[in-house]
Structure 1
């Protein structure tokens, strides 16, 4: 995870994703966010929603699907 201030909140997906996993800084918020989790990747897509948190206003990205890592 980047050391820059978060600008995105990831919502949905596996319950095992921690708050640290869900608060991210994303350079290009027009692109899908991909998070490695277990044996795959969780994919999140941008919404127009924002929420106020202790980190400030964050754009919400909603979970959309999971892909497995090829072996």
Structure 2
């Protein structure tokens, strides 16, 4: 698993328009971020965005799941 900086698009307002250091197996895998009582899921949407001088892959919010009790 590699760690890369990605740009998050969509999902909870706390994540909008921010870069995020995430562990991902590649651009074809989803990223799962723990948030509140669940997980926010993001997938690469095939685009890249210039952010603070770096070209980052854009990961689009695609799902939310709850943490099992």
Instruction: State the TM-score, normalized to the length of structure 1.
Output: 0.77
CA contact (8 A) 1:40 1:69 kept: yes
Q: Structure 1 unaligned segments of length 5 or more: list them.
A: none
Hey, what's the Cα distance between the residues in 1 that align with 2:21 and 2:65?
A: 20
| Unpaired segments ≥5 residues, structure 2 | none
Identify, as 1 or 2, the structure richer in strand: 2
Number of residue pairs aligned between Structure 1 and Structure 2: 66
Matched, 1:23 2:51: no
Q: 2: CA distance between counterparts of 1:31 and 1:5? A: 12
TM-score, length-scaled by structure 2: 0.79
Q: CA RMSD in A?
A: 2.2
Report the Cα offset of residue 17 of structure 1: 2.9
